[in-house]
Amino acid sequence: MQSDGFVGPAVTERLNSHEKAKRYSRIRILLSLLETSLLFVFTLFIVLSGFSRAASGFVQSLTLNAYFSLLLFVALLGFLELVLLLPLSFYSGYFLEHRYGLSNQSLGRWAWEKMKSILVSMPIFVPMLLLFYFFLRELGMLWWLPVGAAVFLFSVVLARLAPTLIYPLFYKFKPLEEGPLKERILRLCSEVGMRVEGVFSFNMSKNTKKANAGFTGIGRSKRIVLGDTLLDRFTEEEIETVFAHELGHYKYGHIWKGIVAGLVSTFLGLFLTARLYEASLPWFGFTRIDQLAALPLLSLWLGVYGLVASPLKNGLSRSFEREADRFALVKTGNPGAFQSTMRKLADQNLSDVSPHPVVEFLFYSHPSVEKRVKFAESFREQ
């Protein structure tokens, strides 16, 4: 005979939090899939319907310059895409975050941050777009080679300049105050021979209640950044664990390994996309690879490659994260702090601690919190 059980308030709260995180994570994934599907359908529609031909004819009637025509064509399609995705962007970026108690943004601030992201991206996107079209027109089917090299160069330059030129446009950074925590961090850096430009806190709380920390930059712009949401709610031992994990990425060269992997993926993706693009042009009645109306087809193939490559990229990232976790446990010798940190981060960020294995494989760049906590427990028992 089964006896009646009693579930205490603390257990009930944990169960409710777990289910809440499950729902939140599931909605986020569904919204991401919906956005991808809408972009695919939109791009296919403008190609099949003849809209891209009409749009290219319209912009070319305004200017004889091929590059101005390109900018007008992309601006027109980009505006339509923005309008199409705006409701979804609002729901996922503003409404959902407020519904689950994760956002500190007003509607005006959310809109301004979105607009600022667009404005900041323009000086980066426009030169890359013009360079791409130049190589497409001048080199024919070999366009992917110099474009791949340009993407790599831009990525390295951005990684170098972003901490000092771009990130301060979105957050206020200030040096971490002198004290035991800063001493712990700098001591860990010294032990692995890492030199940083400084340790900074930033006002992450202006937008979100979530917590995060990490390294930014490469070379002389390398710096440590800690969100104020992390500093306010975590102990020094827990923050040290978070930082030791990030230091593990440096120790094992994950930043440069990631850059190399990204380089290989970029060249492979551009090569395959170039071949698929050329082969598919006749299917839609296009005759030249530099035909303005055909360019949405190229973006479609790039999207398909990105979708296929994403699980492989995530798998590599998870392997890096496991190495960094091991380094943090060895370096701090404090598996208890590591476990409490993982649980608190999951609670604060509303992360699903035990996603379905297929979901984790396809969408997660980090191992699940449950796996990370169990790994720390096995480390404790060694």
Kindly report, residue by residue over 253-285, the tens digit of the pLDDT.
Answer: 888 898 889 999 999 999 999 999 999 999 999
**Short-list 21, 2, 13, CA closest to 350:** 21
Mean pLDDT of the chain, nearest integer: 89
**Short-list 301, 299, 251, 252, CA closest to 273:** 301
Other C-beta atoms within 10 Å of 308: how many? 11
pLDDT at residue 16 above 80? no
pLDDT at 14: 52
CA distance 182 to 188: 10
What tokens were used for 122?
A: 């323009």
Ordered strands of the 223-227 beta sheet:
173-175, 199-202, 223-227, 213-216
What tokens were used for 121?
A: 């991206």
pLDDT at residue 207 above 90? yes
In sequence order, which residues have a C-beta less than 8 Å from that of residue 28 and are 6 or more positions away?
92, 96
pLDDT at 217: 76
Of 24-33, 136-145, 150-159, where does mean pLDDT reach its minimum?
Answer: 150-159
Task: Give the pTM.
Answer: 0.86
AA letter at 354: S
CA distance 366 to 376: 15
Report yes or no: 225 and 212 within 8 Å, Cβ to Cβ: no
* Interval 97-106 mean pLDDT: 94
pLDDT at 179: 85
Three-state DSSP class for residue 278: helix
